[in-house]
Amino acid sequence: MREIIFRGKRSDTGDWVKGFYIQKPNPFSEDGKPIRHCIIDLPPFGYDVDPETVGQFTGLCDKNGNRIFEGDVLDLSILGPDHSLNAVSIEHGAVGFFPLHPEEEAEEDRRWRSFWIDDEQELWDSKYFTVIGNIHDNPELLGEVSGNG
């Protein structure tokens, strides 16, 4: 059973926090936003976070033991010296990734792919993945991305 944990950037400081993710009604909002997005790291401490930065832990770690979260950018090196930059996403309840520069990929690798191999139902070996940043702190890694598949 995997650990359910989220991360998000604090609205006030921009620092990353990890913990439980909740959405709370905000009836007295001064900014007109009816919902507060919060990460609770150690109750009773909770932080308002930018909802655009919230990402769930995938249950996987990269080859260096770093947790892989939705929104992370991975250097994928399955084919030896050939590297590919991929962004982690959750699509229809499945965890996977899509290439950030599909024009540099073989045609069959230009789509979103699950971390599960369809034929064998084995988890891709994490020794091929390295977290090198995320889409929020490292926009330069995105280049000219038109969409996530």
pLDDT in tens, 35-49: 889 999 877 788 999
Is the CB of residue 25 less than 8 Å from the CB of residue 3?
no
Predicted TM-score (pTM) of the model is 0.81
Distance of CA 50 to the CA centre of its chain: 14
Say if residue 129 is in the same domain as residue 85.
yes
Q: How many domains does the chain fold into?
A: 2
Say if residue 63 is in the same domain as residue 114.
yes
Say if residue 61 is in the same domain as residue 131.
yes
Say if residue 46 is in the same domain as residue 74.
no
Cβ neighbours of 123 (radius 10 Å):
13
Tokens of 12: 């006030």
* Residue 53, SS3 per DSSP: helix
User: Can you name the residues that pair with 96 across neighbouring β-strands?
Assistant: 89, 114
Say if residue 46 is in the same domain as residue 92.
no
Residue 124 to residue 63: CA distance in whole angstroms: 12
The mean pLDDT value for 121-135 works out to 77
Say if residue 124 is in the same domain as residue 89.
yes
CATH of the domain at 114: 2.30.30.290
Q: Which domain holds residue 104?
A: 56-136
Q: Which residue has the higher pLDDT, 84 or 62?
A: 62
DSSP 65: S
Has residue 62 got a pLDDT over 70?
yes
**In the chain, % of residues over pLDDT 70:** 82
Residue 108 to residue 20: CA distance in whole angstroms: 37
Say if residue 26 is in the same domain as residue 85.
no
The mean pLDDT value for 98-120 works out to 73
